[in-house]
Amino acid sequence: MPPMIALIALNLPVAQPFDYLAGDLSAAHIGCRVRVPFGQKERIGIVVGMREASDRPLTQLKAVTALLDEQTLLPNDMLALLRFCSDYYHYPLGPTLFAALPGQLRKGKEAAVRTHLQLKLTPLGVQQGAKLPMRAKAQRALYARLCKGPLAETAPEVTAHARNLLKTWLIAAWIETAPLDILDALPKLPLSSAPVLNFAQQQAVEQVQTALGRYETFLLHGVTGSGKTEVYLHLAQQVIAQGGQVLLLVPEIHLTPQLTEQFSQRFGAELIATLHSGLGEAQRLRHWLAAQNGTAKIVLGTRLALFTPMPALQLIVVDEEHDSGFHQQEGLRYAARDMAVVRAQRAHIPIVLGSATPSLESWHNALTGRYQRITLTQRATSITMPTVRLIDSRANKPIEGLTTTLDAALQQNLARGQQSLVFANRRGYAPSLYCRDCGWAAGCPRCSAKLVLHLREKSLRCHHCGYQQAMVLACPNCEGKDLHPGGVATQRLEQHLCHRFPTARILRVDRDSTQGETRWLTMQQAIRNGEIDILIGTQLLSKGHDFPGLSLVGIIGADDALYSTDFRATERLFAQLMQVGGRAGRAQWPGEVLIQTRFPDHPLYQALQQHNYAEYAEILLDERNTARLPPYFHLAALRADAPALIDALVFLQTAQQHAPQQEGVTLFDPTPDAMPRKANRDRALLLVQSAHRGLLQHYLSLWMPALYALRTKNIRWHLDVDPQQV
């Protein structure tokens, strides 16, 4: 009897798995990791199939060296989903599978399920912890948490810093460990113990509950502050009570702490696995295995959590489903929201897509009946939606970014003892530095972009490639000294507001100020405790956060997006402004939103004033239909980059010549990218368009072998299916 052949997927950019002599492997090992020889080295691979014969002579095949898993890591349903993802996005299967695994499993680490432990104070720990000095804030916070009761080692509070403290305290006998029976952590409280839902929320919960056990996609369109999270919590409690698991996806790491806290308070931290790129490798592996073996009942994470195996999955929730953070922009370029819908369909379970500003694709699916729409038109509390006022910045010229109207509103809100937010989606001091004498502007030597001035650090930085240099004191073109910062960003606003309101407590929230594992958590706590008067922030503050004391939002620089060549720019702007405006007036005080704009009559701003998403969505859908753009037409972009633009264009022209001819599919000519140069590489693209998704997929499948066969010296290329930026 001839030996069996194992199909092994390796983390290499090749389209097909490799054939190896299976040895003792069988079909039961599909989805397990193995170690195999490859060239002069050994690699980790994943068994994706077994067959009786190979296209190559058996004498040329090597044998599998070792089996690394006794139990399947990627069950059949997950393998099938990842195969679909690989096929749909035309990305090699091996790298697709490995992208779904935690880093330590990709490196061959044992997938051992550890006994869960809980940590609790000893009498010595109680005695010594009470003596901790006031300056030891992190230690005192951890001690205070342990005083409330045992702490699971997998709890969200156990950060890397906290873990080091706990190790020290364990050695000093301040704390002791005990096994944690995860079943004891199951919620014992009846559903009636949770906060009472209003009528619209209760209707939403009941509508989704009727679909448990079958596939259905629900678009939960709820205005900001309408209580979508409470709907998720009620649904999760129903699912867990039935022994199921829930997958909750959010677009950004910064949204995970608040949601994790809310779910932990309701269900206990022991039932929750969090998965995002901010976790350490060991912590991510623990949480992934807890989900994979069914211990974790709720998996809460960013897009990488989508491919986590969950044996009892009964419900998927995608919060802020419109957000571009669900789209992976390198490696496997996939849309987590769309793949989540596919996962729900294959698993025969419902999925809830939640947003105050749904993507046009999801809205169109709801209008055509493909999705069921659930609407929450009122805020969960008695507070009404914030009032939106437009400030014509043509007549009311801004000074240091602020018009006199916005300045006066900040002063009045400060006098009332209420919090304000000034939103400017640009970090740094100023978006550019230019010479008033000759017009020179500081540009990135590696990109087609301006360098951003970071005055506090006395540097010029590129926010696209990371290049930075010391701030210049004289114009390199004319040697003039009249250099001027162009535009306003968060650091400049902070400087101006600190000077304008010297007694105000001002906090800047952007990617620069929130670096550090616990920095953002500390900031959020200070905001909620009323320790901040004026917030200055970027998109990090635009969604998902609930700050009860915030009643005024001022928005500056929004018009910049109206000049973008990206066809999705205005859709993103509307969503961003409605989201950030929705932070205002969520508690006892009514909210007000002031938007500075040179185009107060623009339909986008008019719809924002009325909080009328549906009206503006109708306008955008008409434009998309006329322009033959999504969701009415489907796109793919073949992108290439090279040291010189001509090389990238020539590659794309060659690819165009090797493309199949197919009726119903349009292939456009190559063109430079919107940002032609990035990180010393020139970039170009060509678009493929079709009114039929299946036709486009067939076309791309025929084209891909020819693309792989092209010469690519000094060329990097990738296919972007359903591109988010064109």
Q: Dihedral of the CA atoms 284, 285, 290, 293 (nearest 10)?
A: 140
Q: Write down the domain spans for the chain.
A: 5-106, 117-179, 194-284+294-376, 387-430+487-622, 634-721
Residues 144-189: pLDDT tens digits? 888 888 887 766 667 777 888 888 888 888 888 876 544 344 444 4
How far, in Å, are 111, 290, 336, 550 from residue 285 at the CA level? 8, 8, 20, 38
What's the CATH number for 194-284+294-376? 3.40.50.300
Q: Mean pLDDT, to the nearest integer, of 135-140? A: 85
Rounded percentage of the chain residues whose pLDDT exceeds 70: 96
DSSP characters for 377-389? Answer: -S-SSSPPPPEEE
What's the rounded Cα separation, in Å, for the pair 333 and 322? 17
Q: What is the pLDDT of residues 402-439, one digit of tens each?
A: 999 999 999 999 999 999 999 998 999 999 999 999 99
Give the chain's mean pLDDT. Answer: 91
Q: Sorting pLDDT into bands at 50, 70 and 90, what band is 226?
A: confident
CA nearest 10: which of 52, 53, 48? 48
Q: Which fold does the domain 634-721 belong to in CATH?
A: Alpha-Beta Plaits (3.30.70)
CATH architecture entry for 5-106: 3-Layer(aba) Sandwich (3.40)
Residue 184 is predicted with a pLDDT of 41
Cis peptide bond N-terminal to 631, omega within 30: yes
Calpha distance 144→549 (Å, rounded)? 26
Q: What is the mean predicted confidence (pLDDT) over 313-329?
A: 95
Distance CA 21, CA 504 (A): 71
Domains 194-284+294-376 and 634-721 alike in fold: no
Contact predicate 362/229, CB 8 Å: no
Task: Give me the long-range contacts of 276-281 (CB less than 8 A, separation at least 24).
Answer: 276/301, 276/302, 276/304, 276/305, 277/253, 277/302, 277/304, 278/253, 278/517, 280/160, 281/102, 281/103, 281/104
Yes or no: say if 26 and 71 are a contact pair by the CB < 8 Å rule: no
User: Burial letters for 114-150: b for 16+ Cβ neighbours within 10 Å, e otherwise?
Assistant: eebebbebbeebeebbeeeeeeeeebeebbeebeeeb
Q: Which CATH number fits domain 387-430+487-622: 3.30.70.100, 3.40.250.10, 3.40.50.300, 2.40.50.140?
A: 3.40.50.300
Q: Which of 721, 701, 702, 566 lies closest to 636, judged by CA?
A: 721
Q: Please report, as a single letter, which amino acid is at residue 674.
A: A
| pLDDT tens string 336-376 | 999 999 999 999 999 999 999 999 999 999 999 999 999 99
SS (H, E, C) 35-46: EEEECCEEEEEE
What is the CB-side half-sphere exposure of residue 722 using CA atoms within 13 A? 23
3-state secondary structure of 301: strand
The two structure tokens encoding residue 675: 């940002």
Q: Which residues of 543-579 are buried (b: 16+ CB within 10 A; e: fewer)?
A: bbbebebbbbbbbbbbbebeeeeebbebbbbbbbbbb
Q: Which residue has the higher pLDDT, 283 or 82?
A: 82
